[in-house]
Structure 1
Amino acid sequence: MTTPPTESPTTVVAQGTFDLLHPGHVHYLSDAAAMGTELHVIIARRENVTHKDPPILSNEQRRDMVAALEVVDEARIGHPEDIFVPIRDIEPDVIALGYDQHHKEESIASALDEQGIDCDVRRASGREPNHDDELLSTGDIIDRICDKRC
Protein backbone atom coordinates (compact mmCIF):
# COMPACT_ATOMS: atom_id res chain seq x y z
CA MET A 1 0.00 0.00 0.00
CA THR A 2 1.38 3.37 -0.96
CA THR A 3 1.15 6.35 1.30
CA PRO A 4 -0.33 9.43 -0.34
CA PRO A 5 2.05 12.38 -0.49
CA THR A 6 1.62 14.84 2.33
CA GLU A 7 0.91 18.42 1.44
CA SER A 8 3.46 20.92 2.61
CA PRO A 9 2.16 23.61 4.93
CA THR A 10 1.11 26.97 3.57
CA THR A 11 3.05 29.53 5.56
CA VAL A 12 1.47 32.93 6.10
CA VAL A 13 3.19 36.03 7.44
CA ALA A 14 1.28 38.86 9.06
CA GLN A 15 2.99 41.97 10.35
CA GLY A 16 2.12 45.01 12.35
CA THR A 17 2.64 47.08 15.46
CA PHE A 18 0.05 45.33 17.67
CA ASP A 19 0.15 47.95 20.40
CA LEU A 20 -2.63 47.52 22.97
CA LEU A 21 -3.97 44.31 21.47
CA HIS A 22 -7.68 44.65 20.58
CA PRO A 23 -10.44 42.74 18.72
CA GLY A 24 -9.39 44.26 15.37
CA HIS A 25 -5.94 42.70 15.78
CA VAL A 26 -7.46 39.35 16.73
CA HIS A 27 -9.69 39.47 13.63
CA TYR A 28 -6.74 40.32 11.35
CA LEU A 29 -4.63 37.47 12.71
CA SER A 30 -7.51 34.99 12.59
CA ASP A 31 -8.20 35.98 8.98
CA ALA A 32 -4.49 35.65 8.14
CA ALA A 33 -4.32 32.23 9.82
CA ALA A 34 -7.22 31.05 7.66
CA MET A 35 -5.12 31.81 4.55
CA GLY A 36 -2.77 28.91 5.32
CA THR A 37 -1.68 26.26 7.79
CA GLU A 38 1.03 28.16 9.71
CA LEU A 39 0.88 31.78 10.85
CA HIS A 40 4.06 33.69 11.62
CA VAL A 41 3.72 37.25 12.89
CA ILE A 42 6.40 39.92 12.67
CA ILE A 43 6.07 42.64 15.29
CA ALA A 44 7.34 46.05 14.14
CA ARG A 45 10.15 47.41 16.28
CA ARG A 46 9.21 50.58 18.11
CA GLU A 47 12.11 52.46 16.50
CA ASN A 48 10.94 51.46 13.00
CA VAL A 49 7.34 52.72 13.39
CA THR A 50 7.40 56.04 11.55
CA HIS A 51 3.95 56.26 9.92
CA LYS A 52 2.12 56.82 13.22
CA ASP A 53 2.85 57.45 16.89
CA PRO A 54 5.33 54.92 18.27
CA PRO A 55 3.95 52.03 20.32
CA ILE A 56 3.40 52.49 24.03
CA LEU A 57 4.30 48.91 24.92
CA SER A 58 7.75 47.38 24.52
CA ASN A 59 8.68 45.24 21.55
CA GLU A 60 8.89 42.16 23.78
CA GLN A 61 5.52 42.72 25.45
CA ARG A 62 3.77 43.18 22.12
CA ARG A 63 5.44 40.03 20.77
CA ASP A 64 4.47 38.02 23.86
CA MET A 65 0.82 39.13 23.66
CA VAL A 66 0.58 38.19 19.98
CA ALA A 67 2.36 34.86 20.59
CA ALA A 68 -0.25 34.01 23.24
CA LEU A 69 -3.03 33.98 20.64
CA GLU A 70 -4.08 30.47 19.65
CA VAL A 71 -4.04 31.22 15.90
CA VAL A 72 -0.37 32.30 15.98
CA ASP A 73 2.30 29.64 15.44
CA GLU A 74 5.24 31.99 15.93
CA ALA A 75 5.70 35.66 16.74
CA ARG A 76 8.98 37.51 16.43
CA ILE A 77 10.25 41.05 16.58
CA GLY A 78 11.29 42.47 13.22
CA HIS A 79 14.87 43.08 12.17
CA PRO A 80 16.34 46.43 13.26
CA GLU A 81 17.38 47.53 9.74
CA ASP A 82 16.08 45.18 7.05
CA ILE A 83 12.39 44.25 7.05
CA PHE A 84 13.09 41.44 4.58
CA VAL A 85 15.42 39.45 6.89
CA PRO A 86 12.63 37.70 8.83
CA ILE A 87 10.61 37.20 5.65
CA ARG A 88 13.56 35.46 4.00
CA ASP A 89 14.01 33.33 7.15
CA ILE A 90 10.35 32.30 7.23
CA GLU A 91 9.97 31.76 3.44
CA PRO A 92 6.22 32.46 3.39
CA ASP A 93 3.74 31.45 0.74
CA VAL A 94 1.47 34.38 1.62
CA ILE A 95 1.93 37.85 3.10
CA ALA A 96 -1.35 38.90 4.74
CA LEU A 97 -1.89 42.65 5.06
CA GLY A 98 -4.37 44.11 7.51
CA TYR A 99 -7.44 45.61 5.88
CA ASP A 100 -6.44 49.13 6.96
CA GLN A 101 -2.66 48.89 6.84
CA HIS A 102 -1.09 51.71 4.87
CA HIS A 103 0.81 49.34 2.54
CA LYS A 104 -0.40 48.82 -1.02
CA GLU A 105 -0.48 45.21 -2.22
CA GLU A 106 1.20 46.11 -5.51
CA SER A 107 4.06 47.93 -3.78
CA ILE A 108 4.68 45.06 -1.39
CA ALA A 109 4.56 42.50 -4.23
CA SER A 110 7.04 44.58 -6.24
CA ALA A 111 9.42 44.94 -3.28
CA LEU A 112 9.24 41.19 -2.63
CA ASP A 113 10.03 40.51 -6.32
CA GLU A 114 13.06 42.82 -6.09
CA GLN A 115 14.25 40.80 -3.09
CA GLY A 116 13.72 37.49 -4.92
CA ILE A 117 10.94 36.45 -2.54
CA ASP A 118 8.15 34.55 -4.28
CA CYS A 119 4.85 34.73 -2.39
CA ASP A 120 1.30 35.99 -2.74
CA VAL A 121 0.19 39.24 -1.13
CA ARG A 122 -3.37 39.27 0.18
CA ARG A 123 -5.44 41.71 2.18
CA ALA A 124 -7.36 40.55 5.26
CA SER A 125 -10.99 41.50 5.65
CA GLY A 126 -12.20 44.28 7.89
CA ARG A 127 -14.38 43.93 10.94
CA GLU A 128 -17.16 46.12 12.26
CA PRO A 129 -17.61 46.66 16.01
CA ASN A 130 -19.95 44.14 17.64
CA HIS A 131 -21.50 46.87 19.79
CA ASP A 132 -21.43 50.64 20.14
CA ASP A 133 -18.82 50.62 22.89
CA GLU A 134 -16.29 48.29 21.20
CA LEU A 135 -13.03 49.89 20.06
CA LEU A 136 -11.04 48.44 17.16
CA SER A 137 -8.19 50.93 17.11
CA THR A 138 -5.26 51.49 19.45
CA GLY A 139 -5.58 55.23 18.90
CA ASP A 140 -9.26 55.11 19.91
CA ILE A 141 -8.38 53.09 23.03
CA ILE A 142 -5.72 55.65 24.01
CA ASP A 143 -8.15 58.51 23.39
CA ARG A 144 -10.77 56.84 25.60
CA ILE A 145 -8.22 56.28 28.38
CA CYS A 146 -7.19 59.93 28.22
CA ASP A 147 -10.82 61.09 28.21
CA LYS A 148 -11.75 58.97 31.21
CA ARG A 149 -8.55 58.96 33.27
CA CYS A 150 -6.49 62.04 32.47
Structure 2
Amino acid sequence: MTRAIAQGTFDILHPGHVHYLEDAASYGDELHVIIARRGNVTHKEKPILADRQRRDMVAALDVVDEAHLGDREDIFVPIERIDPDYVVLGHDQHHDESSIQAALEDRGIDCEVRRASAREKRYDDELLSTGRIIDRILDERGD
Protein backbone atom coordinates (compact mmCIF):
# COMPACT_ATOMS: atom_id res chain seq x y z
CA MET A 1 0.00 0.00 0.00
CA THR A 2 1.54 3.29 -1.13
CA ARG A 3 0.78 6.26 1.12
CA ALA A 4 0.92 9.93 0.22
CA ILE A 5 0.67 12.88 2.57
CA ALA A 6 -0.59 16.36 1.79
CA GLN A 7 -0.48 19.05 4.42
CA GLY A 8 -1.71 22.57 4.89
CA THR A 9 -4.02 24.98 6.66
CA PHE A 10 -7.10 24.40 4.47
CA ASP A 11 -8.94 27.44 5.79
CA ILE A 12 -12.02 28.11 3.64
CA LEU A 13 -11.83 25.23 1.17
CA HIS A 14 -11.69 26.18 -2.50
CA PRO A 15 -10.98 24.51 -5.88
CA GLY A 16 -7.23 25.06 -5.50
CA HIS A 17 -7.26 22.90 -2.37
CA VAL A 18 -9.25 20.19 -4.15
CA HIS A 19 -6.78 20.19 -7.06
CA TYR A 20 -3.83 19.91 -4.65
CA LEU A 21 -5.43 16.96 -2.85
CA GLU A 22 -6.33 15.21 -6.10
CA ASP A 23 -2.76 15.68 -7.34
CA ALA A 24 -1.33 14.39 -4.04
CA ALA A 25 -3.67 11.38 -4.14
CA SER A 26 -2.25 10.38 -7.53
CA TYR A 27 1.04 9.48 -5.80
CA GLY A 28 -0.41 6.64 -3.77
CA ASP A 29 -3.18 4.24 -2.88
CA GLU A 30 -4.01 6.20 0.29
CA LEU A 31 -4.06 9.95 0.85
CA HIS A 32 -3.49 11.21 4.37
CA VAL A 33 -3.89 14.94 4.96
CA ILE A 34 -2.30 16.73 7.90
CA ILE A 35 -4.15 19.88 8.95
CA ALA A 36 -1.94 22.58 10.47
CA ARG A 37 -3.03 23.65 13.92
CA ARG A 38 -3.83 27.32 14.34
CA GLY A 39 -0.95 27.80 16.78
CA ASN A 40 1.56 26.42 14.26
CA VAL A 41 0.58 28.77 11.42
CA THR A 42 3.25 31.47 11.55
CA HIS A 43 3.95 32.25 7.89
CA LYS A 44 0.58 33.89 7.17
CA GLU A 45 -2.59 35.04 8.92
CA LYS A 46 -4.04 32.60 11.44
CA PRO A 47 -6.89 30.47 10.10
CA ILE A 48 -10.43 31.70 10.65
CA LEU A 49 -11.96 28.27 11.13
CA ALA A 50 -11.21 25.99 14.08
CA ASP A 51 -8.68 23.15 13.72
CA ARG A 52 -11.24 20.35 14.03
CA GLN A 53 -13.67 22.06 11.66
CA ARG A 54 -10.97 22.32 8.98
CA ARG A 55 -10.00 18.68 9.56
CA ASP A 56 -13.60 17.51 9.31
CA MET A 57 -14.18 19.41 6.05
CA VAL A 58 -11.06 17.93 4.47
CA ALA A 59 -11.96 14.45 5.74
CA ALA A 60 -15.35 14.73 4.00
CA LEU A 61 -13.72 14.96 0.56
CA ASP A 62 -13.86 11.70 -1.39
CA VAL A 63 -10.21 11.92 -2.43
CA VAL A 64 -9.04 11.91 1.23
CA ASP A 65 -8.63 8.60 3.04
CA GLU A 66 -7.82 10.13 6.41
CA ALA A 67 -7.36 13.65 7.77
CA HIS A 68 -5.21 14.25 10.84
CA LEU A 69 -4.57 17.28 13.01
CA GLY A 70 -0.92 18.23 13.12
CA ASP A 71 1.12 17.87 16.29
CA ARG A 72 1.21 20.99 18.47
CA GLU A 73 4.97 20.76 19.05
CA ASP A 74 6.56 18.77 16.22
CA ILE A 75 5.27 18.78 12.64
CA PHE A 76 7.06 15.50 11.88
CA VAL A 77 5.23 13.39 14.51
CA PRO A 78 2.19 12.58 12.33
CA ILE A 79 4.45 11.94 9.34
CA GLU A 80 6.40 9.37 11.38
CA ARG A 81 3.15 7.72 12.48
CA ILE A 82 1.69 7.55 8.94
CA ASP A 83 4.98 6.32 7.41
CA PRO A 84 4.35 7.68 3.89
CA ASP A 85 6.04 6.92 0.61
CA TYR A 86 5.50 10.52 -0.55
CA VAL A 87 5.05 13.92 1.03
CA VAL A 88 3.43 16.16 -1.57
CA LEU A 89 3.77 19.91 -1.07
CA GLY A 90 1.30 22.40 -2.48
CA HIS A 91 2.48 24.34 -5.52
CA ASP A 92 2.53 27.62 -3.55
CA GLN A 93 3.56 26.39 -0.11
CA HIS A 94 6.57 28.15 1.37
CA HIS A 95 8.45 24.93 2.20
CA ASP A 96 11.66 24.10 0.35
CA GLU A 97 11.61 20.52 -0.97
CA SER A 98 15.29 19.82 -0.29
CA SER A 99 15.06 21.13 3.29
CA ILE A 100 12.00 19.00 4.00
CA GLN A 101 13.68 15.96 2.39
CA ALA A 102 16.78 16.47 4.56
CA ALA A 103 14.69 16.86 7.73
CA LEU A 104 12.78 13.66 6.93
CA GLU A 105 16.03 11.76 6.32
CA ASP A 106 17.48 13.09 9.59
CA ARG A 107 14.49 11.56 11.38
CA GLY A 108 14.80 8.24 9.56
CA ILE A 109 11.65 8.77 7.49
CA ASP A 110 12.19 7.11 4.12
CA CYS A 111 9.95 8.91 1.64
CA GLU A 112 10.16 11.24 -1.34
CA VAL A 113 9.13 14.89 -1.37
CA ARG A 114 7.23 16.13 -4.41
CA ARG A 115 5.55 19.40 -5.36
CA ALA A 116 1.97 19.41 -6.67
CA SER A 117 1.06 21.22 -9.85
CA ALA A 118 -0.83 24.50 -9.90
CA ARG A 119 -4.42 24.64 -11.07
CA GLU A 120 -5.28 27.19 -13.70
CA LYS A 121 -8.40 29.30 -13.38
CA ARG A 122 -11.29 27.91 -15.37
CA TYR A 123 -13.19 31.20 -15.53
CA ASP A 124 -12.35 34.86 -14.93
CA ASP A 125 -13.78 35.40 -11.46
CA GLU A 126 -12.76 32.03 -9.97
CA LEU A 127 -10.85 32.38 -6.71
CA LEU A 128 -8.13 29.83 -5.93
CA SER A 129 -6.76 31.42 -2.77
CA THR A 130 -8.20 31.73 0.73
CA GLY A 131 -6.71 35.21 1.00
CA ARG A 132 -8.41 36.32 -2.21
CA ILE A 133 -11.72 34.86 -1.03
CA ILE A 134 -11.43 36.82 2.22
CA ASP A 135 -10.50 39.99 0.31
CA ARG A 136 -13.57 39.63 -1.92
CA ILE A 137 -15.83 39.06 1.09
CA LEU A 138 -14.47 42.20 2.74
CA ASP A 139 -14.81 44.21 -0.48
CA GLU A 140 -18.37 43.11 -1.14
CA ARG A 141 -19.75 42.65 2.37
CA GLY A 142 -17.48 44.66 4.65
CA ASP A 143 -18.58 47.80 6.43
TM range (shorter): over 0.9
> Aligned partners of 1:76, 1:88: CA distance in 2, in Å?
13
| Structure 1 gap segments, 5+ residues each | 1-8
Q: 1:78: which partner in 2?
A: 70
Larger Rg: 1
Name which of 16, 19, 24 aligns with 2:8.
Answer: 16
> Aligned partners of 2:90, 2:19: CA distance in 1, in Å?
9
Please report the TM-score for the alignment, with normalisation by the length of structure 2: 0.98
Please give the root-mean-square deviation of Cα atoms over the aligned residues, in Å: 0.4
> Aligned partners of 1:116, 1:12: CA distance in 2, in Å?
17
Q: 1:99: which partner in 2?
A: 91
Q: Does 1:54 pair with 2:46? A: yes
> Aligned partners of 1:10, 1:123: CA distance in 2, in Å?
17
Count of residues paired in the alignment:
142
Matched residues, percent identical? 70
* Structure 1 SS opposite 2:5: strand
Q: Deviations over 1:77-111 (max 9, x none)?
A: 10000111101100000000001100011000000
Q: Does 1:114 pair with 2:106? A: yes
Which ranges of 4 or more aligned residues in structure 1 deviate by more than 2 Å? none
Residue type of the alignment partner of 2:8: G
Q: 1:6: which partner in 2?
A: none
Name which of 30, 46, 52 aligns with 2:22.
Answer: 30
> Aligned partners of 2:108, 2:68: CA distance in 1, in Å?
22
Q: 1:68: which partner in 2?
A: 60
Please report the TM-score for the alignment, with normalisation by the length of structure 1: 0.94
Q: Deviations over 1:19-67 (max 9, x none)?
A: 0000000000000001111000000000000000000000011000100
> Aligned partners of 1:120, 1:76: CA distance in 2, in Å?
20
Residue type of the alignment partner of 1:119: C
> Aligned partners of 2:114, 2:88: CA distance in 1, in Å?
5
* Structure 1 SS opposite 2:140: helix
